[in-house]
Amino acid sequence: MAEIFFRQGDGSVKKTEAKAGGSVMQLAIQENIRGIEAECGGACACATCHVYIDDAYLHLLTPPAQDEEEMLEGVAAERRDGSRLACQVIVSDALDGMVVEVPDRQF
């Protein structure tokens, strides 16, 4: 299990517990995290699950594939170095303590 923290634009933080193997998007939907729309259901086809991953954890993630990079080109909120699509970030025990910031808008 990994504790994943979702930080909203207003500064509020929600602590969640996730089993390894699921996506951060699935976790956000299960936990009713505001701002994660996930309109395509995790198919890497809409960019409405754009999040900012804490820099301290980026090196633990698989780099974005070309389709994710292309989707990130069109995100509504500012793109940052830690921008990822939550549907493409797979939870592992190594991500315990990771902070995921939800952008102020998805579209």
Q: What is the DSSP letter of 23?
A: B
Task: Name which CATH class applies to 2-101.
Answer: alpha beta
Residue 81 pLDDT grade (very low, low, confident, very high; cuts 50, 70, 90)? very high
Quote the pLDDT of residue 101.
98
| pLDDT tens digit sequence for 37-48 | 999 999 999 999
Quote the pLDDT of residue 78.
95
| pLDDT tens digit sequence for 51-77 | 999 999 999 999 999 999 999 999 999
Using CA atoms, how far apart are residues 61 and 81, in angstroms rounded to an integer? Answer: 13
Query: For the residues 26-47, what does the mean pLDDT come to?
Result: 95
Per-domain residue ranges of the chain: 2-101
Q: What is the DSSP letter of 97?
A: T
Query: For the residues 96-100, what does the mean pLDDT come to?
Result: 98
Q: Helix, strand, or coil here: 18? A: strand
